[in-house]
Amino acid sequence: MDQFQLVCPCVLGVEGLVAEELRDMGAQQVEPQNGRVVFAGSEEMLARANLCSRYSERVLVLLGTFRAVTFEQLFQGVKALPWEQWIGKLDKFPVKGRSLSSQLSSVPDCQSIIKKAIVERLKMKYRIPWFEESGDMYQVQFLILKDTVSVMLDTSGVGLHKRGYRPNAAEAPIKETLAASMAKLARLWPDSHVYDPFCGSGTILIESALLAMNIAPGLQRRFAAQSWKGVDESVWVRERERAQDLVRRDSTFLATGYDIDGAAVALTLENAKKAGVIAHIRAEKRDIRDFAEEGERGCVICNPPYGERLLDLSQAEELYTAMGQRFVPKRGWSYHIISPDETFESCFGRPADKRRKLYNGMIKCQLYSYFKA
C-alpha cells in the first residue's frame, strides 16, 4: 500500500486552510470539497496528517467511491472493495455514517447492508464462517451524498480536536480546530502577542501558541491507526521526530488571557501547562471594560459570550458595545471576533474590514476582523 486516497473532514469554511496545510506537509492531488479535503499520500502522510493537522476533524482512508440508488448496488459496491488489505480475521469493524439528498436515506439500513457486505467479502477471503471482532478497531465510515457513496476507514479514533491538553473545559468552549483556524486567519507570527479577553479554558491562547511555535497539535496523543498492522510503528516514530524537529523553540510569542471568572483563569493556566506552552501564556482576572492596548503591536482573538451560548441577547449586545469602545483602531493592532449575531457590527459601532463565515459546532457564525487603523 504505497499510495492511497485520504480524506480530512473539516468544519465548513476552513477547507482552504486544510488544503494549504496538507500541501505544505507534502500531500499530493489535494482537492478541497464541501466540508472535506481529499488528497493522496503514503502511510507517512497518513501519520503526518494525524499528528500535524490543526484544522481537520480526522483523517480517513478513502477505500472507494461509487453510485448506488438501491441496496443491492450498495451491497455489491462495498463487497467489491479490498477490505482484507486492512481488516484482519480478529479485528473489529463497526459501521457508522450518514446520507444526504440520496435515495438510500435510511442510515440504519445502510449500516446493516454495508456491514453485511464487508462480512461476506472477508468470509470469502479468510474462509471462516464468522468474525469474533476482538482485535484492533477499524471504524468504517460512509457518506452517501446525492446517491454517491464514499466508504472510508477512520485512522484517527478520537477526533483530532481532542489534542489531549483540555480534559477540563469552561462552559461553552470553542473547539480546538476552530480556535486554530481563527489564529491562522489572524495571520500570527512567531513573535506575535495575542490577547483573548474572554479566555475561558484558554483554547484560543493555547492554539495560537501551538501555531506560532509550530508545535504539532497531535504530539501528546495516540491514534487508531497506530495499532493497525498495515501501518508500521516506525512510521509513527519517524513522523513524531520530524514534527519535534520543526518546533520553533526560539519563538518570542506571548499570549495574554483575561476573564471575569477566576476559575476560568486558573483553568487556562492549567491547560497551558498540560499543552507545554505555559512559558508563553499568562492570564488574569479582568473585565472587558478594563481592556487596554499595551505596546505597539497586538492581536486580539476572541469568542465572546452570546445569546445562543451564555447571555441573553440584550446582555450580548451590551457586551459588543463595550468591546467596540475598548477595541480602538490603532496601527499595529488587529481584532478578530467570532459571533453568530447578525447585529454584531452595529452594536460594535463599525463595520468589519473583513468577514468570514465559519461554524462553531452547528451554529453559523462570522469571524469579524478589524485591522485598519
The C-alpha cell that represents 157 in the structure block: 479514533
Q: How many CB atoms lie within 10 A of CB 159?
A: 14
Q: How far apart are CA 101 and CA 370, in angstroms?
A: 38
CATH of the domain at 18: 3.30.2130.30
Q: How far apart are CA 2 and CA 42, in angstroms?
A: 5
159, part of any domain = no
**Do 234 and 144 belong to one domain?**
no
DSSP string, 237-268: HHHHHHHHHT--TT---EEEEEES-HHHHHHH
Q: How far apart are CA 64 and CA 266, in angstroms?
A: 47
Conformational region of residue 295, where left means phi above 0, alpha means psi within -120 to 50, and beta covers everything else: left
Domains of the chain: total: 2
Q: How far apart are CA 360 and CA 216, in angstroms?
A: 22
**Do 268 and 317 belong to one domain?**
yes
**Do 99 and 206 belong to one domain?**
no
**Do 332 and 242 belong to one domain?**
yes
163, part of any domain = no
**Do 140 and 240 belong to one domain?**
no
Q: How many CB atoms lie within 10 A of CB 362?
A: 5
119, part of any domain = yes
The C-alpha cell that represents 206 in the structure block: 493555547
How do 333-339 and 354-360 pair as beta strands? unpaired
pLDDT tens, per residue, the chain with 373 residues: 578 999 999 988 999 999 999 999 999 999 999 899 999 999 999 999 999 999 999 999 999 999 999 999 999 999 999 999 999 999 999 999 999 999 999 999 999 999 999 999 999 999 999 999 999 999 999 999 999 999 999 999 999 999 989 876 555 579 999 999 999 999 999 999 999 999 999 999 999 999 999 999 999 999 999 999 888 999 999 999 999 999 999 999 999 999 999 999 999 999 999 999 999 999 999 999 999 988 899 999 999 987 544 557 778 889 999 999 999 999 999 999 999 989 999 999 999 999 999 998 888 999 999 999 8
**Do 96 and 200 belong to one domain?**
no
**Do 272 and 311 belong to one domain?**
yes
**Do 331 and 251 belong to one domain?**
yes
**Do 125 and 204 belong to one domain?**
no
Its domain, for residue 94, covers: 4-154
**Do 187 and 126 belong to one domain?**
no
Q: How far apart are CA 72 and CA 128, in angstroms?
A: 23
State phi, psi for 157 to the nearest 5 degrees.
85, -115
CATH of the domain at 318: 3.40.50.150
DSSP string, 157-175: SS-TT--SS-SS--SSPPP
**Do 136 and 185 belong to one domain?**
no
**Do 243 and 363 belong to one domain?**
yes
Chain CA centroid to CA 304, Å: 20
- Model pTM? 0.93
